[in-house]
Structure 1
Amino acid sequence: MAFSIGGGSAFADSKMDNVITKTLGTTYRTGGTTTSGFDCSGFTKYVFTKMGLSLPRTSKAQYNVGTTVSKSKLRSGDLVFFNTLGNGISHVGIYVGNGKFAQSSSSRGVTITSLSQAYWANRYVGAKRVMSTSSYQAVAYD
């Protein structure tokens, strides 16, 4: 396993962890929603579809679902949002614990990245929790 999505929590070795691990290294593709190439929101939609949860297609639309979560309260599986183009929400990833998030980056494809990297820290907008703890526990494991 490349990382532990739960950061040592009860969610380590979860279904979400396995789905993300299998997609690491997948190339970036604008408009992509499959393992032949993902854009950022296509990646998050793909992972959550595998978890049995439907998300909207775009990062802006995904920002409009779920419950707002402060950065200090992030939990594995929360969506994290960024303003990379200077005009509002334009990028999304999945928080995986230990200050890191999974994303489909236009320069590196699907990767695990630190939220504290200057580029991402300066563009961080907020986070949303799209699954309650009980819902997550119900679908997280194979």
Structure 2
Amino acid sequence: MNVRGFTLIELMITVGIAAILLLVGLPSMSQRLAAERLDRSATELASAYRFARSEAVKLTLPVVLQGTENGGWEVMADSQRLRQASAPGGGVVIKPFDPIQIAPTGSSSHAEIILANRLGEQRVLCVAPSGQLLQGSCS
């Protein structure tokens, strides 16, 4: 009789190899996902700054980008909220920062915004007095 299939030993070896590969791959995958969440949050905050700057120029009014009590941010012009976002989530935290005053000319107050995740990784957004936004340390 010719029986086809896998023996129990072959099946156990295959399951063992798959488990080892899974254990090796999961930590690096979770680190990659945490870094992507941090990058996405930094990109969203940079986009909010660019929006605030363009609104200041368009409306010819001073605009403020500031952090909120819940860990998010908001863009304000003349006591009116133009845009807001809640805390990023996914283990990403925006460290408290001073409100960024953006003049109708596009210039702004100097600021450093730090975002961090639970793995200790950070992204820094630096706002120069000229209004230019840079990624990386302000020093």
State TM-score, norm by structure 1: 0.30
Highest RCO, 1 vs 2 (Cα 8 Å, sep ≥ 6): 1
State TM-score, norm by structure 2: 0.30
Of Structure 1 and Structure 2, the greater helix share is in: 2
**Which of structures 1 and 2 has the bigger CA Rg?**
2
